Amino acid sequence: MINLRFQFFRIIFALTAGLVTLLFITCTSRQSDEAYRQEIAQWHRQRIASLSKPDSWLSLAGLFLLHDGTNRFGADSTNDIVFPPGKAPARMRTFFMENGAVRVKIDPGVPVTSDGKPVTTLPLKSDADGKPTILEYRSLNWYIIKRGEQLFVRLKDRENPRIAAFKGIEMFPVDEAWR
């Protein structure tokens, strides 16, 4: 009789422990699933906020490969590097590239700045040198980037219409299988 009673309590204890464990796992899983969904939603909000900024990827207005020697730039279509019409003077002047180094020369009367200071001629650092030298004219800013052995001018426009037209990013339902 005592042995049957002991067996009964043992079965009840095992069932109770199993149910408590199952309940704990289910609740924890639901909480972690919700935390995961919230984490994805937070990332999505931050990504949209980042893309809505004036210096985001949506501000890109051009990427131009530099060649050795003189690279004329401005809004005129005869320049080597053509900035957006209406955003820059027809001729701003030149980038000169030699032995992997770039310097810029700006035409008199064209108010280009770097770090708030007027620029007439200036050696330029690329992103490979750490922080690149950023040049500005009204809503435009540009700097040198190095990819492999090639140097490019990356042009951005704080007033790029793509920024104002940006309505967000489509988001699909969170699928736990991709977790």
pLDDT-derived band at 75 (thresholds 50, 70, 90) equals very high
- What is the structure's pLDDT at 74? 99
CATH number at residue 103: 2.60.200.20
Say whether both 149 and 92 belong to one domain. Answer: yes
Can you tell me the distance from the alpha carbon of 134 to that of 138, in angstroms, rounded to the nearest whole number?
13
Average confidence (pLDDT) over 36-46:
91
Say whether both 95 and 117 belong to one domain. Answer: yes
Q: Is the pLDDT of residue 178 over 80?
A: no
Q: Is the pLDDT of residue 4 over 90?
A: no
List all residues 6 or more positions away from 69 whose beta carbon is below 8 Å from its beta carbon.
96, 97, 98
Say whether both 38 and 73 belong to one domain. Answer: no
| Spatial CA neighbour of 94 closest among 117, 116, 124, 51 | 124
Per-residue pLDDT of 104-156, as tens digits, reads 999 999 999 999 999 999 999 999 999 999 999 999 999 999 999 999 999 99
Can you tell me the distance from the alpha carbon of 67 to that of 120, in angstroms, rounded to the nearest whole number?
21
What six digits make up the tokens of 18?
Answer: 């199993």
Residue 148 falls inside a structural domain? yes
Amino acid identity, position 150: Q
Q: How many domains does the chain have?
A: 2
Per-residue pLDDT of 47-57, as tens digits, reads 999 998 888 99
Residue 137 falls inside a structural domain? yes
Is pTM beyond 0.85 here? no
Residue 142 buriedness (CB in 10 A; 0-12 / 13-18 / 19+): buried
Residue 171 falls inside a structural domain? no
CA dihedral angle for residue 172, residue 173, residue 175, residue 176, rounded to 10 degrees: 140
Say whether both 25 and 67 belong to one domain. Answer: no
